[in-house]
């Protein structure tokens, strides 16, 4: 076999390996992400948030989140702040009949009333943090997005698919890039763009197995435009919970889940 033939065969082999490596589609990657998110819906989480402004000053908050899968698509989420004093018992409630048909409410004890949050605001800042309301929601409706694999990369020693996700409906972002860990099917990095401008970016670290569910115990989110950052650390998380429906009512929201 001459050297030219050997070179051609080696190139063919490399191309075949690359094709096999990318044989999975972006949609298929997110179907696996979606399946894991559904599995993780029944949970209770206590977490600490540290907010960093551009000058380096910090503010600390603690919260508790309850979540429940209601049927194959529906879910409910209740988030209540525990500290600091000026945010104590401020809450947020989601009722999702499907992954795209959702109602959102917030409760402020100071005003003693529940306020509906329009779904058009789901990409807005979550109570002054660098997370969005949507970050605390459940799995999205995959049919409202297109998914394209842009390559592969290793993040924190874990091989990842890089997937470009583009919404078909109007959102604050025009697309985001996600680094999804192979076999774990969780995000390790995410970057949100408005057209070509990167405006928000996050990293997901300290990944641990909690029973059968891989979980990032530390999430760092940054607003690139303002330089403001938020770091969320999970203090405790319990999966496969069995919460009653009345925990996720507006009356419960007013009582801070009590």
Q: What six digits make up the tokens of 58?
A: 């910090």
pLDDT of residue 198: 96
Peptide bond into 84 cis (omega under 30): yes
Instruction: Record the pTM.
Output: 0.86
Q: What six digits make up the tokens of 20?
A: 């096999």
| 138-166: pLDDT as tens digits | 788 899 999 999 999 999 999 999 999 99
User: If you write DSSP's letter for every residue of the chain in order, what string do you get?
Assistant: --HHHHHHHHHHHHHHHHHHHT-S-HHHHHHHHHHHHHHT-SEEEEEEEEEE-TTS-EEEEEEEEEEEE-SSS-EEEEEEEEESGGGTT-EEEEEESSSS-EEEEEEETTTTEEEEEPGGGTTSBSTTSSSBGGGGS----GGGEEEEEEEEEEETTEEEEEEEEEESS--SSSEEEEEEETTT--EEEEEEEETTEEEEEEEEEEEEEETTEEEEEEEEEEETTT--EEEEEEEEEEES----GGGGSHHHHHTTT-
Judge whether residue 7 has pLDDT over 80.
no
What pairs with residue 66 in β-bridges? 44, 78
| 16-68: pLDDT as tens digits | 444 445 589 999 999 999 999 999 999 999 999 999 998 889 999 999 999 99
pLDDT of residue 19: 46
Q: Taking a C-beta distance cutoff of 8 angstroms, is the pair 71, 98 a contact?
A: no
User: If you write DSSP's letter for every residue of 4-25 in order, what string do you get?
Assistant: HHHHHHHHHHHHHHHHHHT-S-
Q: Whole-angstrom Cα distance, residue 172 to residue 154?
A: 28
Q: Taking a C-beta distance cutoff of 8 angstroms, is the pair 199, 193 a contact?
A: yes
pLDDT of residue 4: 53
* Mean pLDDT of the 235-244 span: 96
| 172-225: pLDDT as tens digits | 899 999 999 999 999 999 999 999 999 999 999 999 999 999 999 999 999 999
């Amino acid at each position: 076999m001459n050297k030219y033939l050997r070179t051609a065969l080696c190139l063919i082999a490399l191309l075949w390996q690359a094709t096999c490596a990318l044989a999975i589609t972006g949609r298929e990657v997110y179907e696996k992400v979606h399946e894991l998110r559904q599995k993780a819906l029944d949970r209770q989480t206590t977490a600490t948030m540290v907010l960093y402004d551009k000058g380096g000053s910090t503010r600390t908050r603690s919260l508790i989140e309850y979540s429940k899968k209601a049927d194959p698509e529906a879910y409910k989420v209740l988030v209540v702040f525990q500290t600091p004093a000026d945010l104590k018992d401020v809450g947020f409630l989601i009722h999702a009949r499907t992954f795209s048909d959702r109602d959102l409410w917030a409760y402020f004890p100071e005003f003693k009333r529940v306020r509906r949050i329009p779904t058009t605001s789901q990409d807005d800042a979550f109570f002054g943090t660098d997370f969005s309301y949507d970050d605390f929601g459940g799995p999205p409706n995959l049919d409202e997005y297109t998914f394209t694999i842009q390559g592969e990369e290793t993040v924190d020693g874990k091989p990842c698919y890089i997937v470009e996700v583009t919404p078909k409906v109007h959102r604050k972002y025009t697309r985001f890039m996600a680094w999804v860990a192979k076999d774990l099917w969780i995000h390790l990095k995410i970057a949100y763009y408005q057209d070509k401008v990167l405006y928000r970016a996050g990293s997901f670290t300290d990944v641990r197995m909690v029973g059968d569910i891989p979980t990032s115990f530390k999430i760092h989110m940054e607003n690139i435009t303002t330089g403001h950052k938020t770091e969320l650390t999970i203090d405790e998380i319990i999966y496969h919970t069995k919460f009653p429906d009345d925990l996720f009512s507006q009356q419960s929201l007013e009582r801070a889940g009590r």
